[in-house]
A and B are shown apart, each in its own frame.
Chain A
Amino acid sequence: MKTKTLLLGAIATAAMAPAAFAERGSDGNVSIIYWQAPSILNPFLSGGTKDVESASMIIEPLARYNENGELVPWLVEEIPTTDNGGVSADLTSITWKITPGILWSDGTEFTSADVKFTADYCMDPEGGCAQLTKFDGVTSIDTPDDYTVTVNFEGPTPFPYGPFVGGESPILQAAQFADCMGAKAPECTEQNFYPIGTGPFTVTDFRPNDVIQMAANENYRDPAKPAFATVTFKGGGDATAAGRAVMETGEFDYAWNLQLAPDVIAQMEAGGKGTPVAGFGPLVERIMLNNTNPDPALGPDDRAVVRPHPFLGDPAVYKAMSMAIDRPLLVEIGYGKAGKVSCNWIPAPAAYNSTSLSCDTQDIVGANAMLDAAGIVDTDGDGIREKDGVPLKILYQTSTNAVRQDFQALIKQWWSEIGIETELRNINASVFFGGDPASPDTFQKFYADVEMYANTFNGTDPQSYLGNMLCDKAPSPASQWQGENISRFCMEEYDALYAQLTQTAGIEARSEIGKKLNDMAVMNGAMIPLVHRGRLSAHANSLGGVVLNVWDSELWNVADWYRME
């Protein structure tokens, strides 16, 4: 008996020993709530922020942006630049040096082959990769050895940090996804739901559109991290419930993207269990204008493709619609301190913020005069203007959210004063942003005249985001409804100027072109920007290490989170 006790004691001591040096998993469970539920953990098959951010805890890119918008090396030794020779002098290639010794969560080694595979996976011509803009202009990937990756571009690429940088372009494991190339990608349920990654956590249970259970990655490169042993990642519900769960009842530790009226946030904060944190990135609440004809009579496929829209393409119409909106009032009602008036699609970083547009004051008289001058008048006396006999009746859809419904009601009223009739529609956020190709209610399908939502980009260079307005990025049945050009904006000059941007180096010249592209898209009826929004999230007072990052995934430093006493 004695020997046995002794032996047991020795085993126990041996088991305890590593814990004394490292404190991985010492802080128990952390629960995160995203009110849009993740439906897949493969960001290459979904453009949804919820999917990108939940996956960012598991799979990681080579480099990330920190809270100041600066690039930080993640799985590599350093950020390649022209100065350190990582970017070739003619700007046509970039060479990443992978940190040796990084392991996948299954214990195998992370090598350059995985990086090359990820690029092949996304660029497969048969697949509908949601992050294809990240790989724009990439011709080939070379892997001279296991720790070196060279990305070759077809021409000089002044901002080569598109592929493998930021939460939207993480690295997949080649061994796991080898059979999931091209058209087979969406069928690989096991791989898409349980990706093997290098991140601080691994998936133990994934229920699409509901909850993800994760556990600390045993093979994570920093033996002391993550501090939490398990993660409960709950999706679904609404922003109000999420805010309450963190700030009032303390059931959850972190709530993402609380788009709630300022008075509601203040009320929740008084609950004393959590703190809201805000940061301003390039997030803009906007009304997208449909450049195609969404008439239901055209059938489910054609109505997303057939051009033009019967009246929204007329400059007088969309300019008058924009003039009729009282943006300062919208900011006050909807966002308070977490919002600013914006006339721009790209309001941040400051260098790219165009100043050529002004939209601070509402001008209903001017809007009416503009429509009258364009010959768009009410001919049949029903209070609604007609353009070429088509009445200006608009279906205005957005996701279900109290602030958005308030905006809808106000904007409907203002548009009615300039003779435009608006039908409102709201769709559950999980469906609207869900990206399900079978649902007619997703924002990609855009079966409405205008729709309102917010979008942003990761990182500080808007090139790939500006690329979202290129003609060939329009979602259509042919592209399995992938593509980020939601308004189906298409303009040759824009495409040409964008091509010029991809050839231009130097922040000043680039920001000049960036501003022009921004103005071009906004002035030619791609969208009506409304509010430059801060990202407002909330964390429990007992959760330490949270650094709100608006330039990358909000969960970028989840490995550093810990429980405070």
Chain B
Amino acid sequence: MTELSNPQPVAPPRNQWLDVWDQFKTHRGALWGGIIFVIIIAGVYLGPLIWRVDPQFLPQGRDFINLRDMRPIWVGLFDSSAKVSWAHPLGTDNLGRDTLARLMMGGRVSIAVGLTAMLLALFLGTLVGVVAGYVRKMDGPLMRLTDLFLALPLLPLILVASLLFREPLSASFGPEGGVFILIVVLIGITSWMPTARIVRGDVLALKEREFVLAAQSIGTSGSKLIMRHVLPNVLSPIMVSATLGIASAIITESALSFLGFGFPPDFPTWGRLLNDGVDRVVSFPERSILPGIMISLTVLSVNYLGDGLRDALDPRIRGR
């Protein structure tokens, strides 16, 4: 019998997250998307610490006339008669509220809605997907449930629900808090279905793989198996639907605010700012364009980020 050669590894194994990072770096779009997303988040959350102007403040008396309808500072470059001031670099709206401060506050709300709704949808989608894929008995009922939810028209459903639950919620959580919970929950429970389907498909395929069989043969319990072997392998499709979910949640919130069913009218979100600017889009295009750019930038950067993460997290693509 020849001696079993069992060479010990000389160097500690390379952390797999470093591999992920190496792969991620090669995707330029994702890198830029990530940088821009971080800048936007920092801007809306840390910005108010530097730019200490109250977005809800309405100037009174004479100031009101002087401070309303200001243009962004760059308009002064080509139109010397425009009303501009460094005190309001992005101008003010027709009631004299500072646009920069409102954009930051609107961004906080929109991004918070996007992230929370995405987390909720992800949790529900993964739960349903894994259970349906792993437990054969549950597959049929859960997938029919998914079909049912897919068939629901989203916007009318949200409009009806906001009609029914708005008042009890705002009574217990305040007008803004109530609407926040309502919108997040509604977007969350109406957008988990794609995730559930993708996850179920992947789980079905994984279940038949040898390493799962091996794990089962040494007596790994079902829950351990899912946590240790199945979930890490479906992480990449989950990531993709997560990023897409943020984008669609922000857009749905914007659509709701645009229709007047979201937050109270004086509470800025990007969608509402865009909506409020529509009346005067010819004279003050920046009032619609700026929030529009912010929504587009966020959605685009998140999508690119997700694209890069998918590539980086998939061990089969990684290193190619």
Contact = CB atoms under 8 A, between A and B. Distances in A.
A409 B279 contact: no
Interface in B262-312: 264-266, 276, 278-280, 282-283
A410 B64 CA distance: 11
Interface string A332-356: 0100000000000000000000000
A424 B265 contact: yes
A402 B93 CA distance: 12
B170 interface: yes
A423 B261 CA distance: 14
B163 interface: yes
A402 B264 CA distance: 13
B282 A424 contact: no
A410 to B, nearest CB: 6
A263 interface: yes
A405 B265 contact: yes
A319 interface: no
A497 interface: no
Given A264-B279, A441-B163, A426 B259 contact: no
Given A423-B170, A440-B163, A441-B163, A408 B279 contact: no
B152 interface: no
Contact of A261 (B64, B94, B259): B94
Q: How large is the interface on B (under 10, 10 to 19, 20 to 34, 35 or more residues)?
A: 20 to 34
A387 interface: no
A236 to B, nearest CB: 13
A440 to B, nearest CB: 7
A428 interface: yes
A205 interface: no
Contacts, number: 58
Contacts of B278: 240
A409 B58 contact: yes
Given A240-B279, A260-B279, A296-B167, A333 B265 contact: no
B171 A296 contact: yes
Most chain A CB atoms below 10 A, which of B94, B260, B283: B260
A146 interface: no
B319 interface: no
B168 interface: yes
Contacts of A426: 260, 265
A412 interface: yes
Nearest to A296: B167
A264 B64 CA distance: 19
Contacts of A260: 279
Interface string B155-171: 00000000100011011
A413 B265 CA distance: 13
A240 B282 CA distance: 12
A430 to B, nearest CB: 11
Contacts of B64: 329
B260 A423 contact: no
Contacts of B266: 405, 408-409, 412, 424
Contact of B265 (A240, A408, A441, A447): A408
A406 interface: yes
Interface in A404-432: 405-406, 408-410, 412-413, 423-428
B89 interface: no
B279 A296 contact: no
A405 B260 CA distance: 11
Contacts of B60: 413
A412 B94 CA distance: 16
Interface string B137-181: 000000000000000000000000001000110110001000000
Contacts of A410: 58, 95
Contacts of B259: 428
Contact of A427 (B94, B167, B170, B260): B260
Interface string A299-329: 0000000000000000000000000000001
Contacts of A263: 280, 283
Interface in B233-281: 259-261, 264-266, 276, 278-280
Contacts of B167: 296, 447
A427 B260 CA distance: 7
A463 interface: no
A213 interface: no
A267 interface: yes
Contacts of A406: 94-95
A81 interface: no
A400 interface: yes
A200 B171 CA distance: 51
Interface in B70-99: 94-95
Most chain B CB atoms below 10 A, which of A409, A412, A428, A439: A409
A424 B176 CA distance: 10
Contacts of B175: 423, 425
A333 B94 contact: yes
B94 A405 contact: no
A425 B175 CA distance: 9
A400 B261 CA distance: 10
Contact of B276 (A296, A405, A427): A405
Contact of A296 (B58, B168, B260): B168
Nearest to B280: A264
A333 B171 CA distance: 33
A428 B256 CA distance: 12
A439 to B, nearest CB: 8
B98 to A, nearest CB: 14
Given A264-B279, A402-B276, A409 B163 contact: no
The 7 closest A-B pairs by CB, nearest first: A400-B260, A424-B264, A423-B175, A413-B58, A405-B265, A296-B167, A426-B265
28 contacts: A260-B279, A261-B94, A263-B280, A263-B283, A264-B280, A296-B167, A296-B171, A329-B64, A333-B94, A400-B260, A402-B279, A405-B265, A405-B266, A408-B266, A409-B95, A409-B265, A409-B266, A412-B266, A423-B175, A423-B264, A424-B264, A425-B265, A426-B260, A426-B265, A427-B260, A428-B259, A439-B163, A447-B167
Given A333-B95, A405-B266, 10 more contacts: A260-B279, A261-B279, A267-B280, A267-B282, A400-B260, A409-B265, A410-B95, A413-B58, A424-B266, A426-B265
